[in-house]
């Protein structure tokens, strides 16, 4: 259950529902491939282009409700959670040598 501060907007709920209905999916039946296709579809719907960067469109993409769906999916996917924990553990081990995650150079 979402707390009062974590409630999603009507638009976000409707957009998530639209994405799931469009693909005839439910969160519990969705695969990683399905989610990746949804992300690609939203990218295309917003007319984003990785060859001609439009930062306004890219901003819309990364603020789109599909990312809420991505987070919900990750919470139910064992491999996604394993990856999340591994990244978190690595950051925790590095906390003495880096001031923030944004300072990490790969």
Residue 101 pLDDT level (bands cut at 50, 70, 90): low
Cα separations (Å) of 57 from 22, 24, 32, 43, 86? 22, 27, 24, 9, 31
Q: Output the six-digit token pair for 38.
A: 């949804």
pLDDT tens digit sequence for 13-47 = 999 999 999 988 888 888 889 999 999 999 999 99
Q: pTM above the 0.85 mark?
A: no
Do the Cβ atoms of 104 and 94 come closer than 8 Å?
A: yes
Domain spans, the chain: 11-103
pLDDT tens digit sequence for 76-98 = 888 889 998 999 898 888 878 87
pLDDT at 106: 55
Q: What mean pLDDT is predicted for residues 2-23? A: 82
């Amino acid at each position: 259950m979402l707390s009062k501060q974590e409630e999603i907007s009507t638009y976000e709920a409707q957009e998530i529902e639209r994405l799931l209905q469009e693909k005839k999916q439910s969160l519990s039946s969705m695969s990683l491939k399905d989610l990746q296709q949804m992300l690609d579809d939203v990218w295309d719907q917003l007319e984003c282009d990785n060859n001609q960067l439009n930062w306004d469109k890219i901003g819309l993409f990364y603020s789109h409700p599909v990312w809420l769906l991505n987070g919900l999916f990750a919470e139910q996917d064992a491999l996604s959670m394993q990856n999340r924990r591994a990244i978190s553990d690595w950051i925790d081990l590095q906390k003495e040598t880096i001031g923030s995650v944004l300072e990490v150079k790969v």
